Structure 1
């Protein structure tokens, strides 16, 4: 296991692929860890040095007192890049990771080559969605995380996918049950408070937006909004619910690679 030391704790990361290849950073969704990208690794590591990390509050990374902010999580990414002496990288984030990607595109575009944001929006939900979840998780702890896991299958995957691939769905949803309740609640607050609708136009790095046609958490309309407000942005949509990288699999990987390798 590898860690970088931030000012307030350790951020867990994993790096795979050729030493001399361009760096591609992958950022996980709320309630998962860096292994949510396992399906992409064989394809991505053929062409890139892939840097995955557990967002603060997730996996093996630090859990600090909340609430967190997307700005704070974005600075964690910059701290990771600095610690590993990576001046610029490609960045691909899904859901909360897509919010982090938007923040980086707006505030630290000079550190990015290309940016991909998946199953996300410039604003995700509102306090009426997030505050009861935060309260429940902080009150009930691990029991609440198990309940969230059981409810997440329908949000994260279409019924036909979870029926046909139960082991793949279980592997991902088990990550949610294993997430630290304090860290999860703190990240819920970060997602709740993020709103980049007025700032998207300042993104000037090449951008690909990916959506899932059956995503009830961040519907395609949110992806359309980002595409329409960032000059030159590309858009792709797959038959998938919220975790399009898992459900669309090779199709997702191929589209990302085509975007990253285009001249």
Structure 2
């Protein structure tokens, strides 16, 4: 079951910015755009466990479908640039993952990557019409959701997906592949990290967290990220519910590459990584690309973890190429 309604556009309130900070950015056109992102008709989707998944559709009714799956502590607005550009020619479908944005909070135990795969499958079933196949793009945790979906619903991969883009994401086993200093044994480091992520992820964080720029910017965006992009990323992270942040951070710390089988992604898949990504380093993208059965190649972006916001034109071009069924995708940054 799904219902459809329209949401009027309105300027978002910035909970993580003071009035003085907003005043300093008011003349910035990019800040104005990210303050009032695109809005589309809403389709309320219910996942397998009953969680409400807020979904919006943009662009022409008869357009080729492109489905966008955002990362941890983000929301539909993360894809604002891609939605604005691609919806001119394509039917863009974007949704808030469970516990994020305007989607419902799941029942106890519902913050798992397997459930994210259920959510994506529910969105596809309600928005991709018979005879259609979509371009499915996932950033960070959204890319993990695609991998989980393919492993849980292998028969649906060919049914719903024409091609896939995995952006700034990982197959799992993060700790052994992170460039961490010191000689701490891997098992000890793994335990320490799990406890730290569980504790810190579950702590309430005020939207105007002191030193939020110093704490968040180095691991979320590259040095060249604009003030508006930095503000948008902090806003999404700091306004994500504590239970959501903690639940998925715990899951991420324990994610193993054996949890999902990349061989299930039997459709053409392009991998996009950023050269200065400190959260999920470029090596993670290289690992994914090497395990794909139908790889279209590995694209390198400048900047940090938030490629679709930091390099919007490049990411948009990749998705446009996929949706336009071009035979080759340029892999130059």
1:33 pairs, out of 75, 78, 81, with 75
1:4 aligns to 2:9 (yes or no): no
**Over residues 219-243 of structure 1, what are the superposed CA-to-partner deviations in whole Å (9 max), with x where a residue is unaligned?**
1111111111113312101111100
- How many Å separate the matches in 2 of 1:180 and 1:60? 11
Alignment of 1:108-147 (within 5 A): 108-110=156-158, 111-123=160-172, 125-126=174-175, 128-138=192-202, 140-143=203-206, 146=209
1:225 equivalent in structure 2: 287
In structure 2, relative to structure 1, the CA distance for the partners of 1:4 and 1:217 (3 Å cut) is same
Alignment of 1:83-162 (within 5 A): 83-84=126-127, 86-87=129-130, 88-106=133-151, 107=154, 108-110=156-158, 111-123=160-172, 125-126=174-175, 128-138=192-202, 140-143=203-206, 146=209, 150=213, 151-161=215-225
Alignment of 1:55-66 (within 5 A): 55-64=97-106, 65-66=108-109
Once the two structures are TM-superposed, the CA of residue 46 in structure 1 deviates from its matched residue by 2.5
In structure 2, relative to structure 1, the CA distance for the partners of 1:192 and 1:86 (3 Å cut) is farther
2:265 pairs, out of 198, 203, 209, with 203
- How many Å separate the matches in 1 of 2:199 and 2:211? 13
Matched residue SS, 1:97: helix
1:171 pairs, out of 229, 232, 252, with 232
**Over residues 47-73 of structure 1, what are the superposed CA-to-partner deviations in whole Å (9 max), with x where a residue is unaligned?**
321111110111111112345221111
Once the two structures are TM-superposed, the CA of residue 147 in structure 1 deviates from its matched residue by 6.5
1:252 pairs, out of 312, 315, 330, with 315
**Paired residues of 2:219 and 2:277 also in contact (CA < 8 A):** yes
**Paired residues of 1:67 and 1:189 also in contact (CA < 8 A):** no
Give RMSD over aligned pairs: 2.3
**Paired residues of 2:63 and 2:91 also in contact (CA < 8 A):** yes
Structure-2-length-normalised TM-score? 0.71
197-206 or 212-221, which deviates more:
197-206
**Paired residues of 1:66 and 1:183 also in contact (CA < 8 A):** no
Q: Which structure 2 segments of 5+ residues have no match?
A: 1-6, 8-41, 176-189, 328-333
Q: Which structure 1 segments of 5+ residues have no match?
A: none
In structure 2, relative to structure 1, the CA distance for the partners of 1:13 and 1:124 (3 Å cut) is farther
Matched residue SS, 2:237: helix
- How many Å separate the matches in 1 of 2:122 and 2:294? 29
Once the two structures are TM-superposed, the CA of residue 149 in structure 1 deviates from its matched residue by 5.2
- How many Å separate the matches in 1 of 2:198 and 2:210? 13
1:215 aligns to 2:277 (yes or no): yes
- How many Å separate the matches in 2 of 1:186 and 1:195? 16
- How many Å separate the matches in 2 of 1:38 and 1:131? 34
Structure-1-length-normalised TM-score? 0.89
Deviation beyond 4 Å, 4+ runs, structure 1: none
**Paired residues of 2:223 and 2:303 also in contact (CA < 8 A):** no
How many pairs align?
259
Matched residue SS, 1:12: strand
Higher relative contact order (CA 8 A, sep 6+): 1
**Over residues 101-149 of structure 1, what are the superposed CA-to-partner deviations in whole Å (9 max), with x where a residue is unaligned?**
22233434122111110001101535543441222232x3133994795
- How many Å separate the matches in 1 of 2:255 and 2:210? 25
1:46 aligns to 2:88 (yes or no): yes
In structure 2, relative to structure 1, the CA distance for the partners of 1:85 and 1:226 (3 Å cut) is closer
In structure 2, relative to structure 1, the CA distance for the partners of 1:250 and 1:57 (3 Å cut) is same
Once the two structures are TM-superposed, the CA of residue 208 in structure 1 deviates from its matched residue by 0.5
